[in-house]
Structure 1
Amino acid sequence: MHRGRVDVAADAKKRRAARKAVATPDAAAPLPSSSPKERGAVGDRGASTGRGTRTLRPSPLRPAPLDFSSPEHPLQSVSAMHQADRHLKPASPWARELDFSDRAYTPHTVLILLSILVSIVLMLRYYQYADLTVAAKVKVGLSAASFVFIGFGAVHLPDSLMVRPHPAVWRAVLALGVQYLLFLTFMVFQDLGTVRTIMGYYDASLLHPPQERAYAQDCRISTEEDPFFFVRTSFDVFLLAHSLGYVVKMLMLRDWRMVTAVSLGFEVVEVTFQHVLPNFSECWWDHIILDVLICNGGGMLIGMWLLRQLNAKEYKWIALKEIPTVKGKAKRLLGQLGPRSFQRYNWNVFQSPTRFFQVAGILLLILLQELNCFTMKAILQMTPTHHLVTGRLVLWTLLATSCLRELYEFMTNPHIKRIGTTAWVTILGVGMETIWITKMAFEGHYFQDALMPTHVAVPWMVAIAAFTIWLLLYFGVLSLEQRNRRRGVGYLLVNLFFYAAAVCVMALFLMGLPDLQIGRRVFESAMAPYERHIFFWRRR
């Protein structure tokens, strides 16, 4: 059907009206034209053709340039469901990560969905056999279910504050943390016999108790037959793993004082519980030389050097397509594994009572997680080299990295009113793991026969009492000015209780060394007449 001249004129009028609506000041900025002729040209064509700066205006025929800061940009669409929380938690920095590849940082929900379906079909093709045992079929099914949930989490779970190597990696870590939390919740409601049966289906070697190594059996540094006895019996792969662990702790906590507190604190924990865990009984040189000085101290020094390098580095990220050489592109790809930016943590432990308890809670969670590693290994009859022990440590390392970043943001940013999702899952996971281990210990009568020795229990009681008094006086009596000046008679008198608590902890450590036992006999002889009054709950 042919259109008349009246219809064509009406259409032209509508197009001109649309152009005028688009060219209003609300839609685009005024053009820096230098003559009425150029302004007229702009009115007809929608763009300046003069020799000055060209500024494009949106038009029905030419789409506007992409605005990466706009909420409508695809990178912002992944977290649209979490926009209601934007005033409660910090915005994820990954939304600004446009310098590596736009395609890598835009959601590929359909592609991942299809990839999961194809992977499940391939698993059916290559892992489904008629002669599989029931245990093998259950393993394959649970692995497939875990894979699907991790794929879902990598796309749809909330973003962390961690950016590199990719936000999807940290969402997948969160999905793994949720799975482990659900596993712990299920195992809490199983008795110890059922737990052993389940673990035996997974690995039959867990049904038999392993042979424990006695670390404090021979504490000689050298012998006539073997002058390098100390080196031969102490330097192994665990020494390297121990040092690497403290490098990672330094990169996570980013404060040498916090890492030192963890290092010394766990040595005290080992001496405290060596009467129930034989692995904690070590020679004096194992505690002081190997652990504190070589492993912990060496790992901290390497971590501090890495922190200085990362803090001094100037981070300039450019798009991969803008790098001309292959070598430059390769360095850019390797740089994707490093941090996008770096921030030093300043925990300010003694800033306020709230901050003190927050930091103390973080340290207690770290020590509790490390203690859970040894108690779980003892109850579930795992060797130190078992892959489940290594896998658990790797999972907790990844979760703790994101957890500490979110907790630090929550503690230091007054606009943040709640902790992040990963921190919430991590803290709940540590608590659930502790409940499970405690329940299994009671059911299996683990760690209950041996009472805490007097040379350990009494110093702890005095240390806790002195520390409580110091805490009340330090934050209740001293003013903020006195605490900041760190001088004066009142400040010194209050800190005497802190030093008294530290001396008690040091005394129990020296008395608890299995080979030296410095002052243990004298102390126990002095406390013997008063034990029935001190440990009144032990009476029958």
Structure 2
Amino acid sequence: MAVSTGVLNGESRSFPPALDERAAQYSMLNHVINNLAAPLVNVDEDVMWKVEILIAAVIIVSLSVVYLPDHGVFTKPFKAVWRVLLGVALCYSCFLLYLLINYNRDNAIQFLGWLDPNLGKPLPEKNYADNCELWDAENPHHLHNFLDRIDIFIVCHLLGWMWKTVIIRSAALVWFLSILFEFIEISFRHLLPNFYECWWDSVLLDVFGCNALGVCLGMLVVRKLGLEEYHWGFSRGGCWSDHRKLLLFLFITIFVEVLDTTLFFIKYELWMPTSHWILVCRTFFWAFFGPPCTTELYKLLYGQLSTFPLYLAVGTIIQCLELGLCIKFGQGVFHESMPSNIRISWAVIWTIVIARVIHLRMEAARKPVNGESVHNERVESPEQRN
């Protein structure tokens, strides 16, 4: 091999370096790498697996920031913030899909116990309908049953409905959703013991307490911040006279109620306490991912969305995955069937709603608009009508 000579810093050296010099450089590099990797040699394998999962999530979120499209409506504080949120949603959907495909309920509980050693233990059953006497004359504190229900979760309940109102921006629709959820609790309390509540708990603390106050505070925030109020057509019955509005109204109703209901089933089936960090992260995720989903649905209702509703699509996929987990992990856990009166009531309600949708769609198909069928007509928003 030909060897050339040169001068570097006043010294004559051969190029390429002699074999012993290159070996010394390699030895030094090997020494540096070994010293850097030494702290990882004795790390527990479980910790390494968790680190690898975290690194994979960081890579997905980083690629999302670079390659995913911007949200068409939400641009503040930075467009990258919403791309990060979409990347987190993709990570969450992959995590749910992994659980759904690979694990049954017992294995999923073991997997969560591996993620957090505090999990994997049965939760103590708590029944909120043990003593439903509102006024106890024999006790010095006559309202002790009522006051015992007031804790930190009451504040969380209030803030939850306030933020839900800020997201949906319609007092009438959120009020309807809050009442509907009480009926859902009644429908599934044969499966979930903590759905059993005293009448005053449901009426005074929930519907006319936290829910009503949360709706009022939420609308106050919307108006103070100058946010656009959303007109879903619910307050004036418009959704009952247009099949598209009715379908989207059903979609957002199912979306919100499934989101709330699956939380309780996941807690019960996977033995996760309400205050656990995984459920807290899920709550905060939906608190920030809900606004772009709702906005895309509203713009879609009035034909103002020029791009594909990506956030709404990803949110719907996550909802389906969470619902699939609840159904899969609930097999063998729940043995009681829904009471016949509740089953018949829901069957009647859905029959009426589906019949109305079909009727409105048939009317729209028969009604021409400027020589074309009405399905080509855009629904005008209240702002466009004004």
TM-based fold match above 0.5: yes
Question: Normalising to structure 2: TM-score of the pair?
Answer: 0.77
Q: Give CA-to-partner distance per residue, 1:183-211, whole Å, 9 cap, x none.
A: 11111112323322211111123221011
Query: Judging changes above 3 Å, is the alpha-carbon distance between structure 1 residues 167 and 126 closer, same or farther for their aligned structure 2 residues?
Result: farther
Secondary structure of the structure 1 residue equivalent to 2:118: helix
Which of 162, 170, 173 in structure 1 is aligned with 2:74? 162
Secondary structure of the structure 2 residue equivalent to 1:189: helix
Cα distance in 1, alignment partners of residues 120 and 230 from structure 2: 45
Contact 1:377/1:384 (<8 A) preserved:
yes
| Amino acid across the alignment from 1:140 | V
| Amino acid across the alignment from 2:322 | E
Query: Judging changes above 3 Å, is the alpha-carbon distance between structure 1 residues 343 and 471 closer, same or farther for their aligned structure 2 residues?
Result: same
Select the structure of larger CA radius of gyration. 1
| Amino acid across the alignment from 2:195 | F
The question of 1:206 aligning with 2:128 is answered no
Contact 1:243/1:296 (<8 A) preserved:
yes
Cα distance in 1, alignment partners of residues 155 and 51 from structure 2: 34
The question of 1:347 aligning with 2:232 is answered yes
The question of 1:422 aligning with 2:311 is answered yes
Contact 2:297/2:312 (<8 A) preserved:
yes
Which of 179, 193, 197 in structure 2 is aligned with 1:264? 179
Cα distance in 1, alignment partners of residues 110 and 144 from structure 2: 41
Query: Judging changes above 3 Å, is the alpha-carbon distance between structure 1 residues 479 and 305 closer, same or farther for their aligned structure 2 residues?
Result: farther
Which of 103, 106, 109 in structure 2 is aligned with 1:196? 109
Cα distance in 1, alignment partners of residues 210 and 232 from structure 2: 24
Cα distance in 2, alignment partners of residues 189 and 255 from structure 1: 38
Q: Give CA-to-partner distance per residue, 1:399-438, whole Å, 9 cap, x none.
A: 111111122222212563x532211111111112211221
Q: Give CA-to-partner distance per residue, 1:380-408, whole Å, 9 cap, x none.
A: 10111111111111112211111111222
CA shift, 1:356, in A, is 1.1
1:224-243 aligned within 5 A:
224-225=138-139, 226-243=141-158
Which of 187, 197, 207 in structure 2 is aligned with 1:292? 207
Contact 2:93/2:318 (<8 A) preserved:
yes
Secondary structure of the structure 1 residue equivalent to 2:225: helix
Cα distance in 2, alignment partners of residues 266 and 153 from structure 1: 35
Contact 1:127/1:140 (<8 A) preserved:
no
- Quote the RMSD (CA, aligned, Å): 2.6
Secondary structure of the structure 1 residue equivalent to 2:313: helix
| Amino acid across the alignment from 2:327 | T
| Amino acid across the alignment from 2:271 | Q
CA shift, 1:465, in A, is 3.3
CA shift, 1:158, in A, is 1.3
CA shift, 1:454, in A, is 2.6
1:83-482 aligned within 5 A:
129-160=40-71, 161-192=73-104, 193-223=106-136, 224-225=138-139, 226-311=141-226, 342-348=227-233, 349-350=239-240, 352-413=242-303, 416=306, 419-442=308-331, 445-447=332-334, 449-472=335-358
| Amino acid across the alignment from 1:176 | V
1:475-494 aligned within 5 A:
none
Cα distance in 2, alignment partners of residues 465 and 434 from structure 1: 23
Cα distance in 1, alignment partners of residues 361 and 281 from structure 2: 42
Query: Judging changes above 3 Å, is the alpha-carbon distance between structure 1 residues 144 and 353 closer, same or farther for their aligned structure 2 residues?
Result: same
| Amino acid across the alignment from 1:256 | A
Q: Give CA-to-partner distance per residue, 1:34-68, whole Å, 9 cap, x none.
A: xxxxxxxxxxxxxxxxxxxxxxxxxxxxxxxxxxx
Query: Judging changes above 3 Å, is the alpha-carbon distance between structure 1 residues 125 and 267 closer, same or farther for their aligned structure 2 residues?
Result: farther
Contact 2:222/2:228 (<8 A) preserved:
no
Query: Judging changes above 3 Å, is the alpha-carbon distance between structure 1 residues 150 and 128 closer, same or farther for their aligned structure 2 residues?
Result: farther
CA shift, 1:173, in A, is 0.6
Cα distance in 1, alignment partners of residues 261 and 360 from structure 2: 30
Q: Give CA-to-partner distance per residue, 1:466-505, whole Å, 9 cap, x none.
A: 4444555566569999xxxxxxxxxxxxxxxxxxxxxxxx
Secondary structure of the structure 2 residue equivalent to 1:162: coil
| Amino acid across the alignment from 1:353 | H
**Structure 2 residues not aligned, in runs of 5+:** 1-34, 234-238, 368-386
Cα distance in 2, alignment partners of residues 472 and 146 from structure 1: 44
Question: Normalising to structure 1: TM-score of the pair?
Answer: 0.56
Q: Give CA-to-partner distance per residue, 1:219-263, whole Å, 9 cap, x none.
A: 122322232313431111110001101111111111112111210
Cα distance in 2, alignment partners of residues 127 and 305 from structure 1: 57
Contact 1:275/1:452 (<8 A) preserved:
yes
Secondary structure of the structure 1 residue equivalent to 2:342: helix
Cα distance in 1, alignment partners of residues 283 and 118 from structure 2: 20
- Percent sequence identity over aligned pairs: 25
Secondary structure of the structure 2 residue equivalent to 1:428: helix
Contact 2:127/2:194 (<8 A) preserved:
yes
Contact 1:208/1:381 (<8 A) preserved:
yes
CA shift, 1:155, in A, is 3.3
CA shift, 1:286, in A, is 0.9
Cα distance in 2, alignment partners of residues 457 and 219 from structure 1: 26
Contact 2:169/2:222 (<8 A) preserved:
yes
Contact 1:153/1:171 (<8 A) preserved:
yes
| Amino acid across the alignment from 1:205 | N
Secondary structure of the structure 1 residue equivalent to 2:217: helix
Secondary structure of the structure 2 residue equivalent to 1:206: coil
The answer for the alignment partner of 2:371 in structure 1 is none
CA shift, 1:277, in A, is 0.7
Q: Give CA-to-partner distance per residue, 1:164-191, whole Å, 9 cap, x none.
A: 2222111111000000111111111123
CA shift, 1:153, in A, is 2.0
My pick for the range that moved more, 167-176 or 452-461, is 452-461
Contact 1:206/1:382 (<8 A) preserved:
yes
Aligned residues: 324
1:10-89 aligned within 5 A:
none
